[in-house]
Structure 1
Amino acid sequence: MKTLVIIAHPDINQSRINAHLKQAIINQPDITVHELYREYPDESIDVQYEQRLLEDHDRTIFQFPNYWYSYPPLLKKWFDDVLERGWAFKGRYALRGKAFGVAISSGFTPEDYRFDGHHRHTIEQIMAPFYATCNFIRTKSLPLFKTFEDLMVTEADLDQQAQKYLEYLRQSFSFHYNAWE
């Protein structure tokens, strides 16, 4: 299974978590790492190239930090530009049956993402637009891979999380139901 990991971190060199996760997967067979902010510093996205990347992979994982309960700006632009009408929906459904997932990092703890916590929502609830997009373009949505900075105290913690990330990327997920099937 060919996996595309689209990393959308505005300054990955200053990131402890996302940089560590990237290093764990950078040279893995059947995993293509694609960094949006490095590829498009001027934010001029090559739509056809991005669409070919998606078509050439079985699953795509979007790796990014939680930015105000959403995506970093370039990733939002990527969704707007790349998932074109007539290609991704209302026409061809070019990605039908492929799998999309999210590897999200947060500077908080899991307890902060509860109804009675700091954010009053789970990360899954915050990512509802992502799930809706998956359904709309007929892709299968994978469970989230979550990393909480406050739990990553030591290098050993980061190494353990990076190993879990690699396992997540290699995991086979079964899908039982999609509304569009």
Structure 2
Amino acid sequence: MKRILVLLAHPLIESSTINRTLVEALSKHDQTTIHNLYQAYPDFQVDVEQEKKLLLYHNIIIFVFPIYWYSTPSLLKEWQDRVLEYGFAYGTKGNKLHGKTLLCMTSTGSPESTYQSDDNQGSIMKTLLMPIEKMAQDTGFNYIEPLTLYGSRTAIEEDRLTPHINHCLNKINALLSEE
């Protein structure tokens, strides 16, 4: 049976309607473990061995985080720097994550137009998330195209939150049903 690890990296989850609602929906899957990094490591002292155990136990890893100033929250970067060690996640014997799936579910406060390139030829979100995509390639993860809710400040009023959550859940169900 496939198991999902949701690595929640939101420093203010208590005041986040969007990410909190998404994580609550994701938690309804029996195979899902929700791991709130800011709750577990308020001092940023990541327990590397515990995090490795979680990664080894799960098949699908989902990073859930808001985009802050065109980047990930700092604890998610700290987690990557500490946990994805040579000999574990990469290097000659670092194949422990090979074949696992990685999916990012992000949100932005600003509308999608803020994330358009100056030449209006597309979104810069792929560029912003390139470090995670490259990390996934280097560590053997199967990287899935990210799911982003733009303009989260108005998503509820504009009735965009429920369709976004349904889209995320459909993606999870598809991943769970893949051979």
1:119-144 superposed Cα distances (whole Å, 9 cap, x missing partner)? x8521111011111011111110110
| Change in 2 beyond 3 A, CA 1:169/1:42 | same
CA displacement 1:96-153 (0-9 Å, x = unmatched): 11111100110122222222389x8521111011111011111110110111115503
Tell me the residue number matched to 2:165: 162
> Is 1:64 equivalent to 2:65 in the alignment?
yes
The answer for the alignment partner of 2:136 in structure 1 is 134
CA RMSD of aligned residues (A): 2.2
5+ long unaligned stretches in structure 2: none
Identical positions, percent:
31
**d(CA) in 2 for partners of 1:69 and 1:117?**
18
The question of whether the paired residues in 1 share the 8 Å contact of 2:115 and 2:125 is answered with yes
Mapping for residues 93-104 of structure 1, pairs under 5 Å: 93-104=95-106
Q: SS state of the match for residue 153, structure 1?
A: coil
* Divergent runs of 4+, >4 A: none
How many matched pairs? 173
Assess if the C-alpha contact under 8 Å between 1:111 and 1:117 holds in 2. no
The Cα of 1:75 is off from its aligned counterpart by 0.7
TM-score, normalising length: structure 2 = 0.88
| 8 Å contact from structure 2 (residues 94, 139) kept in 1 | no
* Counterpart in the other structure of 2:6: 5
Letter in 2 for 1:59: I
1:155 and 1:40 map into 2 onto residues whose CA distance is 35
> What is aligned with 1:14?
15
**Matched residue type, 2:89:** A
Q: TM-score, normalised by structure 1?
A: 0.87
Structure 2 matches for 1:114-125, cutoff 5 A?
114-116=116-118, 121-125=123-127
Q: Secondary structure at the match of 2:175?
A: coil
Residues 4 and 61, structure 1, Cα contact 8 Å, conserved in 2? yes
Question: For residues 62-99 of structure 1, what are the alpha-carbon distances to aligned partners after superposition, in whole Å with 9 as ceiling and x for unaligned?
Answer: 00000222210111100000001111111222101111
